[in-house]
Structure 1
């Protein structure tokens, strides 16, 4: 049996004793007892493994939407993220069935029932594919977008709109609300707050988070009662915001909600498959309870169907299989840097930083190395030898296990040198110690 098959077998065995999907409700999700991650209705850890379908409500037909979710679910994604309202730079924009969201965008009480019926259907269809639906009730936008319309409606109408949405969508267990949308509320803060409070009041059983500019929701709303968990947005080193959120009080889960997109050149890193892997592994080992992946066709314009088969999606499936074969929810970020004593890389400014997490007893350690190089480890605190394996995040394959002594490795040692590979040089190192 090859190592990829072994990993998948472990993945199946972990869940073999659990109730099957037909008799085991997953949604709505809620916060774990230790407030570090999300759990399903059976209190099982739910690793958010999401994909971004931002404009699916108004870009695609129902048949296309069904195809989209079926493909993503088959690839292992268990969450999706999208706007309820159409392209906000044209508030009169219509969906594929010729329906606009409002008769008058400056008056949210003029909602088009037919438009929102279709939005409901999209949420329900995501649920049919066992995907959590992270939905934006009023996307504020990168430029002007819906922030002006929200502000013009005033607090009373914003609250009324929130009540209508909450009462309409609360029957769908897979819903998670996302306030904001690529922008902080700024001058529309009163209306944004009224909208959030109304949704929280009339739909108390679904979690709410916030997505703003490139920072964490905690920077603005961490202590707000309506914010169930934090969401980070970072095109650079995804571990930095996850680390910051981990240390905040009160404790709330943190989720990497957006970073670079595959084949989208939003900065000098470009959207390579390696970047997709790097930002996911970085976030999860830095304390994030999940992550989102996307492609340059996040807007579902022509070409979206072909983009579903880009290599990044397959690499993301490997991420999920790897973590769900482990007690991932028990991993704690390595802040003290007592394990890695050489070859760390530069924190917060380059793409070479090695991230690590371990169980509290250090019997399981996972390290992600973005660039292959010498690695110095201090294993002297272990009472005996440590079992080690390299894991290839591009193929989902483990190396043969090897043993490391409980000493400090500060010089080159071929045993802890990652295997050679023709292309990308990122690797994962797994250390396991006996009782």
Structure 2
């Protein structure tokens, strides 16, 4: 269910998350540190971090300017909830699963999964002296330094919320703070972490976007960050079923669009991808929040692995330059350590690896001039609430030179039979290889036969009883 909101406060979803270009000095400092380590004889592994946005505005780049596919997780409450040893354990595990980005709050509150509304950690360390957000408790911030360093060492960029919607609520640490203090706080955060290469700035978090006081805090937080010369990418997360640009205040501020939806993800991602070109567009639109593993889909039942695959693969074939996943352990429930290695996590990783093997940054969504001409199901075109499993629309993307095409064919609604889709053969290269890829492991493949009329039919069931498939066509 959804708790309805007024125009004066952020909202939360029950059972859910109750919840700028830095290619200059940051990259130089980091790479020079690597060089120093190498000269001392220490083995080095160059990690890539999200530091900027591509020149065409469609994807993210790392500190060298190379494309970086975002492979995210959402450990929202990790910093206030976990010990340094636990953060190290989480980061090592996620690096092993290919995760290179993490959504995380810098300051906790009870509504974003933290132990208390004053921002204290699990062991009682407060971030501020007397609740003054410009008077910092060094013990707390030294721990945050350590946590961000741990993420850096494991190749994970923190999509970091110095202030989120939940800790601006009444009783929480940022509630009603002045614009001047928010500006100073932003300056202090940016200055402290100027040399860290692994930070993308965030604000909001299930926030309705229309509270003038909270907007003032967020705007001045960002202004304080920018006053230091820090140009790392910034975005805002609004309430569910939104893009960041849906609220004019943030349309003018965000460098990329945070797509937040529990419904078929292609709809929201395509909406952001197709925004008219302008002074700030194109800008990346990335699926960043949706159904979490182990939680409910609009109260209709627990998410399945296909639920999670659909929202991932719909997004990646609709222009999203990566995506974030999450689980019910975003607030680190008891026993979370035993749930780090699930079937879904393995599927998620393998599907990400499959897309990383493509020229994913060149893929253009198959929308206005369709490659898939028949058999693709009903396209969702509005913001209507719809269970992921109630729609079976086929999405696709292709590189401009036609050398790579990927089509996602979900299980048909009802799971009654195989699906036949029709392709426009003129949109394929003169010679090609077509392969069905099993998205339950993304390594099992079989040949795909496209007949003279462009028809191609999905293979049979997977071992879990589902029948969604990826069609890969390479010229």
TM-score band w.r.t. shorter chain: 0.7 to 0.9
Q: How does 1:33-112 map to 2 (within 5 A)?
A: 33-89=55-111, 90-105=116-131, 107-112=132-137
The 1:298/1:341 distance shift into structure 2, 3 A limit, reads: same
Q: How does 1:249-288 map to 2 (within 5 A)?
A: 249=277, 250-267=281-298, 268=300, 270-288=302-320
Q: How does 1:295-310 map to 2 (within 5 A)?
A: 295-310=327-342
Greater displacement, 50-59 / 399-408: 399-408
CA contact (8 A) 2:70 2:321 kept: yes
- Equivalenced residue count is 408
Counterpart CA distance in 2 for 1:80 and 1:91 is: 22
Out of 233, 236, 247, the position equivalent to 1:207 is 233
CA contact (8 A) 2:109 2:172 kept: no
What's the counterpart of residue 245 of structure 2?
A: 218
Q: How far apart are 1:405 and its partner, in Å?
A: 4.3
CA contact (8 A) 1:339 1:378 kept: yes
Out of 418, 436, 447, the position equivalent to 1:401 is 447
Structure 2: runs of 5+ lacking an equivalent: 1-37, 381-385, 413-417
> Do structure 1's residue 197 and structure 2's residue 223 form an aligned pair?
yes
Q: How does 1:20-419 map to 2 (within 5 A)?
A: 22=44, 24=46, 26-27=48-49, 29-89=51-111, 90-105=116-131, 107-141=132-166, 145=169, 150=174, 152-185=176-209, 186-187=211-212, 188-214=214-240, 215-220=242-247, 226-248=253-275, 249=277, 250-267=281-298, 268=300, 270-336=302-368, 338-348=370-380, 349=386, 350-372=390-412, 373-381=418-426, 382=428, 384=430, 386-409=432-455, 416-419=457-460
Q: How far apart are 1:84 and its partner, in Å?
A: 0.6
Counterpart CA distance in 2 for 1:223 and 1:182 is: 14
Q: How far apart are 1:307 and its partner, in Å?
A: 1.6
TM-score (norm 2): 0.80
TM-score (norm 1): 0.87
CA contact (8 A) 2:375 2:422 kept: no
Q: How far apart are 1:400 and its partner, in Å?
A: 3.0
The 1:260/1:224 distance shift into structure 2, 3 A limit, reads: closer
Q: How far apart are 1:376 and its partner, in Å?
A: 2.6
The 1:395/1:25 distance shift into structure 2, 3 A limit, reads: closer
Q: How far apart are 1:147 and its partner, in Å?
A: 9.2
Q: How far apart are 1:28 and its partner, in Å?
A: 5.3
Q: Please list every run of at least 4 consecutive aligned residues from structure 1 whose deviation after the TM superposition is greater than 6 angstroms.
A: none
The 1:86/1:150 distance shift into structure 2, 3 A limit, reads: closer
3-state SS of the aligned residue for 1:182? strand
